[in-house]
Amino acid sequence: MAARFQFRSLPAARSVVAADVRRLSSEFRREPSLLTSAATKSDPQRGAILIVTLLIMAVLALALTSYVSLNLNSSRLAQRGFQQAAAFNLAEAGAEEALWSFNQANAGSASAWNDWMLASGAAKRQFTGFALGSATGSVKVYVDNYAPTGSARPSVVALSTVEATGGASVTKMVEVTLRRRSRFSAGLMAKDTITFNGNRASVDSWNSDPDNDSSTAPVAYSSSTRNDRGSVASVAVDTRKVLVNQADVYGYVYTGGAPPIVGEEGSIKGRDTPADTRIDPARVATDFSATFPDVAAPLDGTVLTALPATLGTAGTATKWRCPNLSLSGKETLTIYGDVTLVLTGGTGTHTIDVTGQASIVITADSSLTVYSEGDMLIGGNGLANNNTRPSTCLIYGTNTGASGQRIQIVGNGALKAALYAPNADITINGNGDIYGGAVGNTITLTGRAEFHYDESLENLDSGMPFGVDAWREITTGDARAAQQSKFTGW
């Protein structure tokens, strides 16, 4: 190869190079692309990459724009949802403020309705200044009857408003109906078990005082006044706590969790139950709850060293204290007037013991209220109440220990009484009629007894605190418009 490029003289080499240059120049003039082919060979690839890159960037830009928009909308929705929840909570808090004032007044507080505007039986108040992040909240509360009497059920309406910076305000409106809690909200009510051991025992109801006016004549139980509210209730959540067995319940059965046990011949029905239905599911509920406040016996009263044959004076209210009430043989204790008897015997003693042919007789237009911590046995000829209303015979078990008291009622006659002993084990033996109500830790009915719940007992406790009877959120325009006048001008 080296010999090929050897020249004999420099001029000869120059002439050869010059000839080559002329030849290449001529070729480049004929094919200009030869000069640029090396430099431009990858341009189409580079252009394609550029186009793809621009397309990807455009897609990413669109996606990012959509994502940002989505996030902004989500943020707005979240903020709106927060404001909706805050407004709802404010409305409920306003209603609870009214309930608190009711119960403060019920407890005797003179300042219960301070800071409220009171006029024509109504009360209203506005609560403001609630800081909710970028929003502020307020609530107006209107009470239609702040001083209810008897069995009146006052209504509370709360209107809340949440105002956000740069956004529309959010409002919520709720209405709550209140009623006094009752020790006798059900005919037979227990903390634990309710058991029917008899064959074809029955439960129904009637109302001895339908107009809630004790000055009018009471209404006696009969086939024409019989009603289907003979309720049986237990707050227990375990299984086998309400054993209806072979009993017929003409009303409702409530439990705290498990369904009741009903035998092949038992039933739970009402007036509107189809004829071919033995257990009406509409009359069974498993979410029952209740409170069982203890009862304290009065501390005053005339002390008796021995029980006389008669107690009290007709037309007069009297109060007495003695260790126990014990009757046997043919002994009789007759009650005149409105008598309160406090039995001071403690846990483990028999504070009431009626056996043989002995009896306690409550004369017409009289009443007997008994407070006892010890055990009770009412047998013999039992407790004869010559009044139509069971509320004329009230028996309170004051023992506060769990299963610390035993109460046994035995007999085949008619018993008209209301028994409240939330920590007692109550047993009712017999085949007679029982008119009134019973509340205990456990309740056992043995025999073919017919239990008739007096619905008027729900209104017995005038001093009980208020609770929520009904609740609703007012959402429709028409329903809100009907309430709006209550919040205008203040």
pLDDT tens figures, 127-152? 999 998 888 999 999 999 999 987 78
Q: Please, are residues 362 and 368 in contact by the beta-carbon 8 Å criterion?
A: yes
Characterize the bridge pairing of strands 267-269 and 248-250.
parallel
Name the average pLDDT for the chain: 88
Q: Is the pLDDT of residue 69 over 80?
A: no
Give the burial class of 118: count Cβ atoms within 10 A of its Cβ; 0-12 exposed, 13-18 middle, 19 or more buried.
middle
Q: Would you say residue 38 has pLDDT above 70?
A: no
Amino acid at 473: E
Instruction: Find out whether 242 and 255 touch, Cβ atoms under 8 Å.
Output: yes
pLDDT of 447 > 90? The answer is no
Closest CA to 393 of 357, 427, 359, 347: 359
Written as one string, the DSSP assignment of 267-307 is EEE-TTS-TT-SB-GGGEES---------PPPS--EE-SS-
- The CA distances from residue 191 to 93, 245, 289, 384, 420, in Å, are 30, 19, 10, 28, 12
Q: Please choose, from the candidates 485, 351, 487, 476, the residue with its C-alpha nearest in 3D space to the C-alpha of residue 424.
A: 351
| Residues 161/169, Cβ–Cβ less than 8 Å | yes
The least confident of 79-93, 245-259, 268-282 is 79-93
Give the pLDDT mean for 19-29.
56
Residues belonging to the chain: 490
Angle CA 388–360–219, to nearest 5: 0
Q: Are 140 and 159 in contact (CB under 8 A)?
A: yes
| 336-393 tens-digit pLDDT | 999 999 999 988 888 999 998 999 999 999 999 999 999 999 987 789 999 999 999 9
pLDDT (0 to 100) of residue 66: 76
Please say whether the beta carbons of 338 and 365 come within 8 A. Answer: no
pLDDT band at 401; cut points 50, 70, 90: confident
What is the dihedral sign for C-alpha 32, 33, 38, 39? positive
Which of the four pLDDT bands, split at 50, 70 and 90, describes residue 22?
low
- Asked if 426 contacts 444 with a C-beta cutoff of 8 angstroms, the reply is yes
**CA dihedral (197, 198, 203, 209) positive or negative:** negative
**Interval 54-71 mean pLDDT:** 80
pLDDT of res. 13: 47
What per-residue string of b and e applies to 339-368 under the rule 16 or more CB within 10 Å gives b? bbbbbbbeeeebbbbbbeebbbbbbeebbb
- C-alpha 389 chain-centroid distance: 30
Lowest mean pLDDT among 13-17, 224-228, 266-270, 350-354: 13-17
pTM, to two decimals? 0.75
User: Whose CA is closest to 203, among 266, 284, 265, 255?
Assistant: 266
Q: Nearest-5° angle of CA 372, CA 445, CA 460?
A: 50
- Angle, alpha carbons 256-259-262 (nearest 5°): 130
Single out the residue of 452, 389, 454 nearest to residue 214, CA to CA. Answer: 389
Hey, what are 183's tokens?
Answer: 């020790």
pLDDT-derived band at 1 (thresholds 50, 70, 90) equals very low
What pLDDT score was predicted for residue 46? 73
